[in-house]
Amino acid sequence: MARAPFVVRKGGRYFFDRRFLSRRRMSGCVRIMHLDATSADLASRSSLLTAEMPRLDSQAMGIDGSDLVERRALELMVNRFLAEVRQSDYQIASDPVFWPAWMSFCNVNQPLETAVFPPQRRNVHAGFALPRSRDLDPVVMALRTGKGLEDVQLSDPLVPERERPTISAASAHAFCLFAGSETAGDDKQPRVSSIEPTFVLEGGAPAQSNDTGLPALAAASFLSQVLCEYLKQARIRAGTNSAENDVGLILRFVVDLIGDVRMCDLTPGHFVTIENVLPDIPHPSAIPAEHSTSLHARYCYAQRQGWEKLRRLSRARITNTYHRCLHAFFRWAADHGAYEGKLPRFKLVAKGNRRDQKRDAWRADEIVKLFSLPLFTGSHSRARHWKAGDRLIQNEIYWAFLLIFFMGVRPSEIGRTRTEDVTFIDGHWYLDYRNKSPDAEGEEQVKAEASARLVPIHPLLLDLGLLDRHADLVRAGTKMLFPEWKRYRRRSTGEIMWGHTFSKAWQYVRATFAFERQDLTVYGGRHTRATWYDEAKLPKRIRIRALGHKASDVADSYGAQHLTRTETELVLSVTNSVETKVADILLTAKLRAMEGELVVIKTW
């Protein structure tokens, strides 16, 4: 097959002949990037990009290879614009001008690429590259290396002298990557691809929808397109964007690593590459924020800087999250006709990947040491509650440690507890989570069906004033039992991580007061309470309902759905010498406050 006259072959790769990379075309690329970089307002950018697409389409009659560079630059800007739209409140879905222009633009690009690089040759060179000759035109050299763009003088009449842009090296680097340069500049950075979905399938036909609203996925679909549809179903199923934190994170890493390939082009070699690289993703701690924006950014940072001061991910994170999510994604893709190959199986972990941290029960000396700290015996101030002083500050962290050790409440349940959840039933006080559900949102949500339960309030917490807090908050009309609880929201999905506040407090305590045992975790408080139930020979069926566990067999599921009065009295009768020592410490501080030796500071 005859090669297009504007494509030359060098070293086994195909490049544009520099004679066809006219100065006008290069300056047109710079102009497009200038329009995108100087229009922060999404509405203005939408108007500019909408005007550019018909302008290029009007020149498509005499199209040649040099048009591809300018058109692909515009396509990059539109994809970047659409990514920002998804993260904002800007409404573009109903734009009667933008979407027709965008689909028309895509439908012209596809046959053009087919003409320049026929399907038989795409595996040899998937994309474009600028020439690497030593005598390049200064504009071409600037675009290719990202250097000297500020000094380039443009002669394009579409860009007036007063508006000639200066393009940053970062923009040029992004352009070269999108245009397919083998190396974008001299920094030897790994090639990064965009996760934005491709809206045109093989042959230039736009993706159509079926009766269920899903695009007609096929083996020719791009990896990013299938990922978007997978995440869409995950959002519908869960009612949240929680899948973004797991499968979205790892699949975006895969796209950044191997490129946004078509599903039919995935090979066993791709899967081996993915499996080999996953153990080399570092933990985000000790990585600068600017290099921790994605898994791929973290991976690249470790490859450049080495592993000094860095640590690897745990084996549980790799196998239980990344491997599991990849398996689920490819099974879903196969079930929906988007993947026809053999399903991959990922198993590899490295020797350096940390083993799972066990959630061991606390020892007696560790528990006594914890509850002897200033927060429980007398603090300096509300802001410095871990420093000794003459104030009793029963804040949210004070009660959180008591709830997890003396009642086995989960950290994520504590921050969600409302004042109306404190209930008096048949002679006993409870935290009543029965009306909550794993399908609800916010404070109405619990981890699982078994978590919707009655939790008897330990007598020690009543003596320490939990009901006094409750009464004050009810009189004030406050909804939450711990209104000072800080809600940490994930930027990527907006999901609230209810246990984050407690975990951060424990990390500070662990480091400051030298709790050195490796298996010691704040969640171990629940394991401690479970151990005390076992030592007191509490029936298994009562134990699992008090802690909110799922019944392991049919026999455990028989009987009353929630704790009865008799069962509650059995739960509250569990006591031991450790509880007695802790009670002495806490009640002594409470009595000192009642006698005026400690000043009581309310935190709500």
Q: Position 594: which residue type?
A: M
End-to-end CA distance of the chain: give it in Å, rounded: 78
Instruction: Judge whether residue 39 has pLDDT over 70.
Output: no
What is the pLDDT, as a whole number, of residue 114? 59
Mean pLDDT computed over 448-475: 92
Selected residue with higher pLDDT from 181 and 256:
256
Look over the chain and give the mean of its residue pLDDT values, rounded to a whole number: 75
DSSP state at residue 314: B
Instruction: Judge whether residue 140 has pLDDT over 50.
Output: no
Domain locations along the chain: 1-186, 217-356, 364-601
Task: Give me the count of residues in the chain.
Answer: 604
Mean pLDDT computed over 58-69: 55
Question: DSSP E strands: which ranges in 383-531?
Answer: 391-393, 422-425, 428-432, 454-456, 488-489, 496-497
The Cα 193–Cα 252 span in angstroms is 9
41-50, 101-110, 212-221, 381-390: which range is least confident on average? 212-221
**Contact assessment for residue 56 and residue 97, using Cβ atoms and an 8 Å cutoff:** no
What is the pLDDT, as a whole number, of residue 553? 74
User: Tokens for 522?
Assistant: 């704040």
User: Tokens for 535?
Assistant: 């030592």
What is the pLDDT, as a whole number, of residue 459? 93
Selected residue with higher pLDDT from 352 and 422:
422
* Residue keyed to tokens 């009667």: 96
Label residue 284 by pLDDT band (50, 70, 90).
confident
State how beta strands 7-10 and 496-497 pair: unpaired
The Cα 604–Cα 480 span in angstroms is 10
Instruction: Judge whether residue 370 has pLDDT over 60.
Output: yes
77-86, 113-122, 260-269: which range is least confident on average? 113-122
Mean pLDDT computed over 16-37: 48
What is the pLDDT, as a whole number, of residue 40? 56
Selected residue with higher pLDDT from 203 and 311:
311
DSSP state at residue 599: E
Mean pLDDT computed over 294-318: 89
Instruction: Judge whether residue 37 has pLDDT over 60.
Output: no
Label residue 113 by pLDDT band (50, 70, 90).
low
Label residue 282 by pLDDT band (50, 70, 90).
very high
* pTM of the complete model: 0.55
What is the pLDDT, as a whole number, of residue 384? 94
In tens, the pLDDT along 546-565 reads: 999 888 777 777 777 789 99
**Contact assessment for residue 598 and residue 391, using Cβ atoms and an 8 Å cutoff:** yes
User: Tokens for 295?
Assistant: 């898994």
Phi and psi at residue 458, to the nearest 5°? -65, 140
Instruction: Judge whether residue 31 has pLDDT over 50.
Output: yes
Alpha helices in 19-97 (DSSP H): 23-37, 42-57, 65-86
What is the pLDDT, as a whole number, of residue 533? 93
221-225, 228-232, 233-237: which range is least confident on average? 233-237
Instruction: Judge whether residue 161 has pLDDT over 60.
Output: no
Residue 133: count of CB within 10 angstroms of its CB = 12
Mean pLDDT computed over 333-354: 90
